[in-house]
Amino acid sequence: MNKEKVLQIHKASLEILENIGIEFQDKEILDILSSNGIKVENNRAYFTESQVMDNLNKAPNEFTLYARNEDYNMDININSTHYTPGYGCAKIREVDGSIRDGKLKDYIKFTKLVHSSDVFDINGGIVIQPNDIDAKLAHLIMLYTSIIKSDKCIMTVPGEYKKFKQSIDLVSIAVGGEEKLKEKPYMITLVSTLSPLKVDKNALETIKLSCEYRQPMVICPGPMAGATGPISPAGNMAMGNAEAIGTIALTQIISPGTPIIYSMACTTTDMKTGNVSIGSPGFALQAAYTSNLAKLYNLPNRAGGGQCDANGITIQAGAETMMNLMATHQEKSNFIQHATGILDSYSSMSFEKFVADLEIISRLKYYYQDLEISDKTIPMKVIEDVALNNKSFLTGKHTAKRCRKDPWFPSIALRGKLKLNDTPENLMLKSINKEMNRLLDSYQKPEISSEVESQLREYMLKAGVDEKVLNIIDL
């Protein structure tokens, strides 16, 4: 990636912050900024370069996100790589191409798949938006599900003060109380800006509470080049980056040292329809620059993922997802959201694509771990023996010792000849379903103390959640 171009985008962002500013839709936030020397006029805050950079330097470049099960603790830094599944979709795309509303049973199924997969150390968030539960309580029901069904790190859903405080209350019960929560990062939340150059009240209330409890946030603008941002990728990124670093500066003014993941999800716009495009190479290119901007600020970053515009498990889905994930890995994104399951330009999730994307990640992990170079991996004596004595590597001891270590093994990909009356599509679907069933069959509900479980359930009932919903989750 061209470092000079990264610097040019950075400098343009600083110019935007100083001369155009960001609209923060919360009077308390504007008062905090003003009292800390930030110029505020007409609900807009204007940052100088030193005000931005001095505050960015207060954010840690490394922190640990703690899980109930310490085996899943996530050390998040500028060199690590972590994955989260798809996020934010309200629809399920079936393998036959039909589409339907997401249900609570789908959320539970995804929660089990995420928990069973060794790709993820984190669970929760809006893996799928259940349409068959009370929308006002959906944030709590999803969070309760992820706590009951998994002991991995917790992702929460942003929202207005009351809703986000309820999420904090629920996580506090799970980890041993509010004071315990304030001691360590136990939950992380995706906070989106509102392009162009705005942050709404709900996002700011989430930021204030996260800062109060010192819980990590992923600060993420998502400007669409040609719609909510300039059509040129460079301009789109310059504006999005201004939103990101201006909002991160705000978090450090409120609570210096609060853990932050720098992020941008810069998309493109389909000029034929006006819809967002996340399968375009323009998306991957902007993700690559996002990772490099984060390196400039010495902050862990979220960029890219396994997104695509395809509306089914097609060649298009595979090509777009592989390109996006490869760019993400190549430029070393540290917190990869939307890694699995996304179809339709964020419109739907697919169970089958979720499983297929796990294999793409496996391929990339193998590729980017690079070669091991040693006497054992370049075995001169073995090569000499086989070459001079008319032997075979296939039956040799060296191959037997390393045959489970050196090759990459697929979980769904097929090799070999087709059998009569089989088709590649049918065989692949069978293979995907076999792997999905393996993950679901291997799921084991993690232990949670009866006291904590009782407190969680009592809180949910007091919040107005139907007991029948809790019974479905607790099965």
Taking the chain (475 residues) in runs of 10, the rounded mean pLDDT of each run is 93 98 98 98 97 98 98 97 96 95 98 98 97 97 98 97 98 96 97 98 98 98 97 98 98 98 96 94 97 98 96 95 96 96 96 98 95 96 96 96 95 87 90 98 96 97 97 93
**Do 343 and 350 touch, CB atoms closer than 8 A?**
yes
Residue 252 confidence (pLDDT): 98
Rounded CA gap, 244 and 218, in Å?
10
Rounded CA gap, 412 and 354, in Å?
12
| 228 contact partners, CB below 8 Å, separation of at least 6 | 195, 196
Residue 393 confidence (pLDDT): 96
CATH level 3 topology of 62-368: TIM Barrel (3.20.20)
Measured at the CA of 223, the angle between CA 353 and CA 6, to 5 degrees, comes to: 100
In 299-412, beta strands by DSSP E: 301-302, 335-336, 342-343, 348-349
Residue 421 confidence (pLDDT): 80
Distance, CA of 150 to chain centre: 17
Rounded CA gap, 249 and 267, in Å?
23
Structure tokens at 277: 């495009």
Cis peptide before 185 (omega within 30 of 0): no
Residue 199 confidence (pLDDT): 98
pTM (2 d.p.) = 0.95
Of 474, 468, 475, the C-alpha closest to 134 is 468
* Strand 44-46, strand 39-41: pairing: antiparallel
Of 238, 236, 161, the C-alpha closest to 203 is 161
Q: Where are the domains of the chain?
A: 62-368
